[in-house]
């Protein structure tokens, strides 16, 4: 069996903390799928998670703790791996959401797809998977 890999967008990390389905997928596949998280995406998820959880009446500290546990199942990728692809990623994203360049640059650097709910990545020259159909990619 080949070891598959996928880059996780910040919105997937947030969904994994706020819900059960995405979290279970990551937990169930972490032993045989490489989940890569660009350091900047992790920081973005962490930044927004507290407010989202607080607005839902939850405990931001508990949510941040769960995020840390989930990210421990992944490999956090530092910018030195993907910054050389920043210009290429920004060009491909155009005006859609240029701040998402680290996700795309990481996928380009690692030659793997992106798991996201963000349609800004569609048509950027890298395969994208949503939570609805990621099981097709993760299947043996």
Reported as a single tens digit per residue, the pLDDT across 46-62 is 999 989 999 999 899 99
Residue 2 has pLDDT above 70, yes or no: no
CATH number, position 91: 3.40.50.1010
Long-range contacts, 131-137 (Cβ 8 Å, 24+) = 131/12, 131/15, 131/21, 131/22, 131/25, 134/6, 134/25, 135/25, 137/4, 137/6, 137/113
pLDDT per residue as tens digits for the range 72-111? 999 999 999 999 999 999 999 987 777 889 999 999 999 9
Count: domains in the chain: 1
pLDDT band at 140 (very low <50, low <70, confident <90, very high): low
**Where in the sequence is the domain holding 111, given as residue range(s)?**
4-138
Going by C-alpha positions, the residue among 20, 28, 24, 68 that lies closest to residue 45 is: 68
pLDDT of residue 1: 38
pLDDT at 71 over 60: yes
pLDDT in tens, 3-62: 899 999 999 999 999 999 999 999 999 999 999 999 989 999 999 998 999 999 989 999
**What mean pLDDT do residues 119-134 have?**
93
Instruction: Identify the pLDDT of residue 94.
Output: 85
Query: How many Cα neighbours within 13 Å face the side chain of 68?
Result: 7
Question: What is the overall mean pLDDT for the chain?
Answer: 92
């Amino acid at each position: 069996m080949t070891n598959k890999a996928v880059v996780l967008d910040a919105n997937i990390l947030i969904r994994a903390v706020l819900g059960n389905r995405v979290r279970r997928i990551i937990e169930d596949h972490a032993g045989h799928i490489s989940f890569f998280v660009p350091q900047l995406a992790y920081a973005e998820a962490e930044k927004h998670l507290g407010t989202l959880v607080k607005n839902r009446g939850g405990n931001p500290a508990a949510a941040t703790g769960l995020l840390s546990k989930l990210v421990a199942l992944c490999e956090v990728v530092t910018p030195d791996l993907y910054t050389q692809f920043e210009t290429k990623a920004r060009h491909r994203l155009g005006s859609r959401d240029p701040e998402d360049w680290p996700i795309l640059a990481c996928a380009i650097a690692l030659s793997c797809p992106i798991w996201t709910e963000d349609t800004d990545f569609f048509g950027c020259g890298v395969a994208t998977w949503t939570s609805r159909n990621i099981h097709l990619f993760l299947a043996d």
